[in-house]
Amino acid sequence: MKIVRFAGHSVRVAYWSARHRFSALRRVARTGAGHALRPLLSRWRFVAVTGSCGKTTTTGLLAHLVGAPSPQLLTRGLNNASGAARAFFRLVWRSPATAVFEVTGHAPGAIRQTTSLIRPSIGIVTVVGLDHTTAFGPIEATADEKMSLVADLPEDGLAVLNADDPLIMARASVTAARVVTFGEAEGATLRLVHLHDRWPDPLTFKVRWRDEEFEVRSPMIGRQSVSVVLASLLAALEMGIDRSLIVERLAEFEPLMNRMSVHRAPDGRQFVLDAWKAPQWTMETCLNFLEPVQAPRKTVILGTLSDVRGNTRRRYEATARRALEVADRVLFVGEEAARVRRMKGSDTQERLFMFDRIRDAHDFLQNDRIPGEVIYIKGSRADHLERLMHAAYADIDCWRYRCGKRFQGCSYCGLLLGKRIRDRHRCSTLPWLSEQQRLPV
């Protein structure tokens, strides 16, 4: 990790080589310009969101609920100080309102580097998990970093915290701002009373807020989406947005691309795409949504798991066993597929499959299709497993295993259909994606 300084500002650079130097200096210059622009935005209300998972969807959903500009369009998918500065160049020409920012906490000090620029009055912490263990070590250190987002809030600010996360609640006193909480715990400001989670039915909540119960519905999928909806709902309510308007907007907000997004292919298959990241500690929760689903066949496709603690092979095998419990067949794709090879036996011969190359997995899926089949794709963004979904709509030109575009989704890459496009932060132009799914994330 290198620290690059220029004109009184600095950025962290993970890899230092000749081809990164210009990019690093450009980020420093943009961040410096952002600090210069921040006083011009003093009448804006800024909201910052962080957490080990769910922060991107929370940011997008909350912006939709309060009628704020799309965070994905403002920052072009960047969740650091450089992305916030990029947004400032757009906001300075608009009438003062609310803007919502996602803040990365991938390394010690990363959150404060961004919040020192944004200076939010409202902070949201979704959950603390075992992400970035290499950078932080103990999970308590991760919790300290996440909570630094609300530690610097002003006294008249608002901290929105997860009441079901003991690591977060143990550190609630670090902020001088007013604290409100969401979750199932007794005493939560917004308490989940009842949940109906049976996809393809909409996620249905009964919640209690200020001694009053009401029901909300969301197209989100799975138990992992509960904290996202509750955090966004509570923040919008506390910001004074009309409840009926919130309920209406919540019902129309579909999942972001590659975050449990649903795609119904022309051949009748349904893809649930969740291949942006795959922390091992979240896998059981992610797979649980598939158990009650009624379909002619259920297929799970798994790529690289991240933040694996302990014996890697045993963790992959545990994930494979859970996947086999909820699905009819399970495919492992990529260089980590071999970790479950010894599970291949007579009882899993026609249910467990391993492919070193994604193209081989695509050929396997194409040769055995069933209308109405549900295919759940879960992996890390470096795997680019979303190509398996795109191939159900059109002929794909790029089947590279390592393309070097680790932080760019295939939906926004011109190589997918054989076209070279420079701007990796543009909106997708794929016609089979909805307007929301085309936003850069």
Question: What is the arrangement of strands in the sheet containing 298-302, beginning at the earlier edge strand?
Answer: 261-264, 270-274, 374-378, 298-302, 329-333, 352-355
With bands split at pLDDT 50, 70 and 90, how would you rate the model's confidence at 343?
A: very high
**Do 309 and 243 share a structural domain?**
no
Say which range, 101-105, 106-110, 193-197, has the weakest mean pLDDT: 106-110
Q: What CA–CA distances, in Å, run from 203 to 228, 264, 401?
A: 12, 19, 35
Same domain, 156 and 220: yes
Reported as a single tens digit per residue, the pLDDT across 238-248 is 999 999 999 99
Structural domain boundaries, residue 73: 38-252
* pLDDT above 50: residue 134: yes
Query: Has residue 233 been placed in a domain?
Result: yes
Instruction: Point out the domain boundary residue: 204, 221, 252.
Output: 252
**What average pLDDT does the chain have?**
89
Between the CA of residue 362 and those of 7, 157, 258, 385, what are the distances in Å? 50, 50, 18, 10
pLDDT of 20 reads 55
Q: Name the H helices within 209-357.
A: 226-238, 243-252, 283-288, 312-326
- Does residue 425 belong to any structural domain of this protein? no
Most confident segment among 63-72, 77-86, 169-178, 304-313: 169-178
Same domain, 278 and 248: no
Backbone angles phi, psi at 191, to 5 degrees: -110, 135
Residues 170 and 289 in one domain: no
| Predicted structure pTM score | 0.90
One domain for residues 279 and 246: no
Measured CA to CA, the distance from residue 298 to residue 238 in angstroms comes to 40
Domains of the chain: total: 2
Give the alpha-carbon dihedral of 219, 222, 226, 229, to 10 degrees: -20
263 band by pLDDT with thresholds 50, 70 and 90: very high
Domain match, 298 and 239 both: no
22 within a domain of the structure (yes/no): no
Give the per-residue pLDDT at 197.
92
Instruction: Specify the CATH number for the domain of residue 61.
Output: 3.40.1190.10
d(CA 77, CA 313): 33
On whether both 210 and 233 belong to a single domain, the answer is: yes
- Are 247 and 276 within one domain? no
Q: What's the pLDDT band for 32 if we cut at 50, 70, 90?
A: confident
Among residues 224, 252, 280, the one where a domain terminates is 252
CATH number, domain at 341? 3.90.190.20
Are residues 293 and 222 both part of a single domain?
no
216 and 355 in a single domain? The answer is: no
